Amino acid sequence: MPEDTPRRRLDADARREEIVRVTLDLAAKQGVDDVTTQDMAQAMGVTQGAVFRHFPSKDAIWLAVMHWVRDRLMAVLGRAAEQGRDPLDALARMFAAHIDFIAAHPAIPRVLTSEHLHIRNRALRELVTEIMLGYEARVAGLLEAAKADGLARADLDAHAAATLYIGMIQGLVLQASLLRGHRTLKAEAARTFPVFLQAVRPPNP
Amino acid sequence: MPEDTPRRRLDADARREEIVRVTLDLAAKQGVDDVTTQDMAQAMGVTQGAVFRHFPSKDAIWLAVMHWVRDRLMAVLGRAAEQGRDPLDALARMFAAHIDFIAAHPAIPRVLTSEHLHIRNRALRELVTEIMLGYEARVAGLLEAAKADGLARADLDAHAAATLYIGMIQGLVLQASLLRGHRTLKAEAARTFPVFLQAVRPPNP
DNA sequence: CACCTAAGGTAGTAATCAGTCACTATCTAA
DNA sequence: TTAGATAGTGACTGATTACTACCTTAGGTG
């Protein structure tokens, strides 16, 4: 058989995975809310109707994308955190891993925060809420552990600090996307995280 | 003539203002990216075609909305800041004023961060960038002034801290919108700002 | 009152989109 | 080899959308 012939037919599982992949790619290129099923099909080299053999609706595609994001993100964050020597080191590694993950998949924060997707699709909004609350709880847990170890100020409001942490990432993403080119996500992130740490660290060295 | 007949005809200036107003209202109710010109017309009690007598395109409407947002927001922030007794007090008042403003006009942060609006409409994106950079410069300026007064740590990276400040607001908005009802914007804001302040304050009281 | 300007109404258009369906091509297993 | 299963095609639909052209009428001015 000829080896260079591109395989068109994929089994349903592989095709579903590819749809999720190209959807994220297209979202990064042209914006989350401007990805059409026609775009997806074209990016895969099939016709538009074929997309609906594998998903019953476009909402279902976004839900699958969100599951993919949750699974990957949580795995990346977990792996980074468990290499930390202490809770604050774990937090720093988690932050760096998250920034790297976003740099590799720029559409992810947009998918998580796109109100257009949340509004009618309740399942999607609940999944986002689960991701956010889980993330916040993880950060707050690390901060509580840091308090117990004397690495964080005793009077720190861990919940509020976790909110600040998540907002920091959002702010960095927005800046990087508006000032594309002028400021890089990684450089700004490296400057901003130490400021956040100052809010956490105890007053007496 | 019957008195209960609502006045329909408005002069062009008043109609343009009303279009901006209802557009922001509708964006808060049904999402920025789901406001149609038909919705706007219906909210004003006119037909859809009438909208295009006052704006040449929908993009032009969003641009007018963004100008409205910039003018109002800057006025609110400026008024709040100039009442501060010192730079950090000014920052705290500015933050509180911003949170109040968002609570009164929930669509505003969504309009500022909607990528769907930024993507093709370059003028809009540039206006958002101007607002963001201006805001960041204002915050950084207050922080530099605080450093000069000994109210902030001498080694503070004012630019990075301003990024953190803006991210804090974004994070609070996202939380409030996802957990609508469970957490209120003002309460969470009141808890989170003191944590941010700890990142700024000098180590020795 | 008569006239004119500008705001609004009516009734479209072309484009785009998600989703459908009957049919075909390709793969696999007996 | 053949029969069933399934991935993909192509043509379509109905709904929605921003935007337009032409007409009507309100309302102020001389």
Q: What is the percentage of chain B residues whose pLDDT exceeds 70?
A: 96
What digits encode the pLDDT tens for the residues A144-187?
Answer: 999 999 999 999 999 999 999 999 999 999 999 999 878 899 99
Distances (CA, A) of B140 to A32, A63, A106, B63, B152: 32, 40, 27, 27, 12
Q: Which residues of A touch B167 (CB under 8 A)?
A: 164, 167-172, 174, 192
Q: What is the largest CA-CA distance in chain A?
A: 72
Amino acid at the residue A184:
T
- B6, burial (CB in 10 Å: exposed 0-12, middle 13-18, buried 19+): exposed
According to DSSP, the residues that pair with B183 across neighbouring strands are B180
Nearest residue, CA→C1' of C7: B9
DSSP, res A182:
T
pLDDT digits (tens, 9 = 90+) for A62-90: 999 999 999 999 999 999 999 999 999 99
Contact B192 A125 (CB under 8 A): no
Supply the mean pLDDT for chain B. Answer: 94
Tell me how long chain A is: 205
CB contact under 8 A, B115 and A33: yes
Strand partners, B180: B183
Q: Which residues of A touch B114 (CB under 8 A)?
A: 115
pLDDT band at A5, cuts 50/70/90? very low
Please report the pLDDT score of residue A98 as a whole number: 98
A195 and B115 in contact by Cβ < 8 A? no
Compute the radius of gyration of chain A from its Cα atoms.
20
pLDDT tens digits for range B1-33:
333 334 578 888 999 999 999 999 999 999 999
As a whole number, mean pLDDT of residues A97-101 equals 98
**For residue B180, what are the contacts with CB-CB under 8 A and spacing of at least 6?**
none
CA–C1' B54–C4 (A): 20
- pLDDT digit string (tens) for B124-168? 999 999 999 999 999 999 999 999 999 999 999 999 999 999 999
Q: According to the model, what pLDDT value does residue B64 have?
A: 98
Per-residue pLDDT, averaged over A95-119, amounts to 96
Minimal-distance CA residue of chain A relative to B168: A167
Contact A34 B116 (CB under 8 A): yes
Residue A14: per-residue pLDDT: 92
The partner residues of A183 in beta bridges, in order of sequence, read A180
Q: Enter the tokens of residue B56.
A: 């040449």
For residue A170, the number of C-alpha atoms closer than 13 Å in the C-beta half-sphere is 25
Q: What pLDDT sits at residue A120? A: 87
Q: What was the pLDDT predicted at B10?
A: 87
Mean pLDDT value across chain A:
94
> What residues in B contact A119, CB-CB < 8 Å?
30-31, 34
Residue nearest to nucleotide D9 (CA to C1'): A47
The whole-number pLDDT of residue A125 equals: 96
What percentage of chain A reaches a pLDDT higher than 90?
90
A10: left (phi over 0), alpha (psi -120 to 50) or beta: beta
Distance CA A6, CA B38 (A): 46
For the entire predicted model, the pTM comes to 0.94
Nearest residue in chain A measured CA to CA from B133: A175
| Å between CA of A15 and C1' of D2 | 28
Confidence tier at A9 by pLDDT (50, 70, 90) = confident
